[in-house]
Each structure stands twice: as C-alpha cells, then as structure tokens.
Amino acid sequence: MTAQELFDRLKSIQPGAVLCSYTMEYCEKLIPIINEINELKKERNAVILAHSYVAPEIVLGVADYDGDSFKLSQDATKVQADMIIFAAVRFMGETAKILNPTKEVIIPGPLSGCSLADSITAEDVRNLRAKYPGYTVACYINTTADVKAECDVCVTSSNVYKIISNLPNDKIIFVPDRLMGANLQEALEKNGIHKEIVLFSGCCYVHEKYDPELISFFRSQNPNLRVVSHPECHPGVALLSDYVGSTGQMVKYIKDQPEGTPFLLLTECGLNARMHYEFPNKQFIGSCSMCKFMKSNSLENILESLRHPKKAAKVELSADVMARAKHCIDEMFRYAAM
C-alpha cells in the first residue's frame, strides 16, 4: 500500500466529528509500519482480526478480518494461520482461543480489559445460580472465559433478542450488562414475550454516558436525522432511536439508507470514523466517545507483537475453563442458527 492510497481512503474522515484526522504527511509516517506488519504477517504465518472500534489505520491497513464481536468469533473458527493477532480486547481474544485452541492468540493493546467483562467474576455467577435455582444463565459475550465457563449460553449484541426469546426456560439470569438487559426486557414485553429476567449491575462506561436529551437536541436541529444506537445504551436512548443493533448491524442499516441521510451514531467513535470513509456521501453527526481499551491497540504494538511474539501478551487458559466456556459459546451458535 502507498501513502497516497491510504490517504485517499481516510481523507473523508472529518476532524471535529471524531478525534482522528488524516493528512498526507501522517499517512506517509504510517505506511512503513503498515507495510512491515503486512510482510511480517506472511513470515510468521499470522492473521489480524480487528474490531471496528480500533483505529481506522488498523482496520484498513493491516486487518484480515474485521467487524462486530459475533462475526469476529465466527471468523476466528476459520483461521488456518498459526497466529492470531486480535486487535480488540481480551475477552474477544479468549473467545478466539477457545474456538481455535491450537492457534497462538496475541492481544497487542496493553489495556485489554472491558468495563463489562471486568464487572463480574465466576464466583458472582455461582452465587446467582445458588440464589435462583432453576434459572438459565445467559451471559453477554463481553465476559471472561472464567465467567462463560459458569454460564449456559452466551449472546452478542447482534443475537441477544433472538437467543433469549428462543430459550425454552422463561426464568433467566442475564449478566453482566444491566442496560442491555433492560433493553432486552422492554423489547420482549413489546412483542408479548414474558420472561422473568434477573439482571446484574455491569455496564459499558462508553455507552452508559449517552443521554436521551442529546437525541432530542439533535432531532430539533435536523428533522430528517436517523438515530442509530447500540443496545449497551440506556433504554431511554434505545426508545428514541430509529435503529438499535450491534456495530455490524448498524453498518448494514446505514448502508441501506439513501445517500445524503444524516445519522447520529451513538456508539464508540471508531465506528463513526469507519462510517466516514465507507459512506462518504452520508452525513454523520458524531459524538466522540472513546473506549480506552479498544484504543490501546496501535500499529506500533501490533508491529512489536509480530517482531517479538515471544514477549507479547498471549491468551492462555486452562483446559477445563476452555471446555466449559466452549460449551457456552457453542450454545450461542446453536441458538443463533435456529
């Protein structure tokens, strides 16, 4: 790739709407790193998976697979290469390791947590099970492998509604996202599906900040506005949105709207940046809300992981946890395919 090619693809990202802005000079600085990464990938027989929230130069310049957490977990099962560099957060790397255990999985970002995954422990799940016997325990994919190992089924933001409504048990413990859980309860009730759902106290520090009043304000400025939000946002935000879905589903919704449509995108700003270069003829009124965990991935630390894989942070899990967590993830694939 040349700096001109990179610049041509990134130049439509507008400063002010997102924090990243690309000049030709900046692309000239990035390109030797991108090219070295792409060379080293071949030498090490490695592939790069990247979530849409990481910096655009990672998604555009070096990723072999990109998308939302459900798609990336499916992609992880297909990898033939020896090494997976997962530019995202640790729970996604763990899921890749569980689904493709012979591969070496490396997380390049030093802040590889997630406020949801870090909000709950395996012991919390065991305590909930003891308190609510007979309940099915469903967890969001944003959980550690230890937590998944204690749960019956996991879900992602793209299939939470489908899976929970298809569960044969009407008594469900849903962990850890209380806002996604509240959105789920409202959506089920709206469609006449009655489930007793016990929630936990976790939430995403990026999405919980969005305020319904922000929507009212932007709508008053622009009556044609389409508001697109993530199910980790507050139910008041979901209620006022035109579309609520996973990052991958948001991309599809935006793609299907006519050119010129203005959007207010209520999710991490990496997706906003991505929309700027994928749909330069659509308008995005952005709020920039960044996930420090996702944004701790960089071209530099990906390059470092490929240069010195022995020193990189590898995902290592016990055989017992892997087997039990795999069952929970496999149940998600089974219900999602129904």
116, 125, 139, 238: which one binds ligand SF4 (CB under 6 A): 116
Residue (of 17, 10, 13) closest to 286 by Cα position: 17
Instruction: Determine if 160 is a binding residue for ligand SF4 (CB under 6 A).
Output: no
Site for ligand SF4 in 281-310 (CB under 6 A): 291, 293-294
247 contributes a contact to ligand 13P by CB under 6 A: yes
Convert residues 142-171 into a mask of x (bound to ligand 13P by CB under 6 A) and - (unbound): x-------------xx--------------
Q: Which of 70, 68, 49 is nearest to 332 (CA)?
A: 70
User: Using CB distances below 5 to 8 A depending on partner kind, what does residue 247 bind out of ligand SF4, ligand 13P, none?
Assistant: ligand 13P
Q: Does 120 bind ligand SF4 (CB under 6 A)?
A: no
Considering only residues 21-80, where is the footprint of ligand 13P by CB under 6 A?
A: 68-70
**223-237 burial: b if 16+ Cβ within 10 Å, else e:** eebbbbbbbbbbbeb
Please list, residue by residue across 21-58, b when 16 or more beta carbons sit within 10 angstroms of its beta carbon and e when fewer do.
ebeeebbeebbebbeebeebbeebebbbbbbbbbbbbb
Contact partner at residue 115 from ligand SF4, ligand 13P, none, CB < 5 to 8 Å by partner kind: ligand SF4
Nearest alpha-carbon partner for 305 in 107, 111, 59, 112: 107
**Distance between CA 103 and CA 193 in Å, rounded?**
41
Residue 230 C-beta: closest distance to ligand 13P, Å: 6
- Calpha distance 58→66 (Å, rounded): 10
Size of interface with ligand SF4, in residues (CB under 6 A) = 13
Q: How far is the CB of 43 from ligand 13P (least distance, A)?
A: 30
Q: Cα dihedral sign for 188, 253, 234, 205?
A: positive
> Among ligand 13P, ligand SF4, none, what does residue 68 contact (CB within 5–8 Å per kind)?
ligand 13P
Q: Where does this chain bind ligand 13P (CB under 6 A)?
A: 68-70, 142, 156-157, 204, 230, 232, 246-247
